[in-house]
Structure 1
Amino acid sequence: MTGSHHAALGDVRREKAQRTSAATEALGILLPGRPQGGHASGMRFPAEARRDVHVRYTRPSCMGGFAVFTVDFEPLPDGRLGFEFINPLSPDDIDAECAQAVSDGILLWLIGAGPQNTYFDRPPLPTTKELAAGVPVRPDAGPGLIALRAVLLHSRLHPIDSLPWTHARAGWRAADKTWRGAKATGDPMDLAP
């Protein structure tokens, strides 16, 4: 082949790749190795907001445990990657330690930790810098990089039984029941008195 044939063949391949990329992006399909949405992995998680997720986690025992809150999950704006937790509530609604535990529980679910890892034997959480660079969401949630904002809307405290570990577990449950839906139902802690 001559040089002009190579150039023409290259132009045809580029046009085909652009058409394929545009079509797959419009359908939300991720092709491995193809940047989409401005990020090398392609998709951001979540794709749409999930509103008014209510979690009631109680553990009647000598150790106690009480967490009740409502949270909104929404994609980060402006195509950013990362994780933001916003707590506009007063300390009468939730103290800072329990609010941080809710945030940690949500992030632990996103990175793939199990419920047993929410307070004891938990894996290290990614840093803000790592999240901004792109951390993949857990495999069973689908493809994409974490780009999530969680906003705490309502919370109730129990003067004795509201503990950080219960809030971490409840944060994990909030994310789990939001994205796994019916597969995540049936946790006895949701039904306890």
Structure 2
Amino acid sequence: MPKENKVKSEIITAARGLIYEQGYLETSITDIMRNADVGKGQLYYYFDTKKEIGMDVLEQLDQEWRADLIGEILAPQRPATESIKLMFEWLLDFHQEQDHYYGCPIGNVIIEMSNKDEDYRLLLKNLIETWESALDAKLMQLEIRDTDISAEYIISTLQGAIMLTKLDETNRPLERAISKLSTQLNIV
């Protein structure tokens, strides 16, 4: 990787960690510079504003989720039951690997920024709608007829459980939600 791209990548990585741990609004340019070990000139060579950094962080997360969750786990060719189980495992694995319970990197920014910045809101809305659409396709394959079980319901349940995981400082709320959803979907 050329040095220029490496520095920009280090800035994004530092910002991503800080935004996940302490939130976008609590993350300062100084925090990002310190964590990326770059000076003001280097940072402003790549980014004009903190918002640009934040948008790059979200675009990186968006690309990862689209590749991993939408493109791989919920891929059209994968059987529905397998897809949904893998989605649950993917979410649980991520949260089990964390040293602290910071919540969902996407969900946190939705809560914090969606009513403060239209660019953030639209990017996040598009990602969630893409997730819902891919999950809806899987539910159709399972011939789920219960109108209470929708992609929106599943995503809301998971995001709520992740929020409670953050509050409870344990993965139990997420584990219980996944268990209940698995039973409701008959994919135990």
Q: Which has the higher contact order (CA 8 A, sep 6+)?
A: 1
Bin of the TM-score, shorter chain as denominator length: 0.3 to 0.5
Q: Which has the higher strand share?
A: 1
Q: Which has the higher helix share?
A: 2
Calculate the TM-score normalised by the size of structure 1. 0.32
Instruction: Determine which structure has more spread, i.e. the larger CA radius of gyration.
Output: 1
Calculate the TM-score normalised by the size of structure 2. 0.32
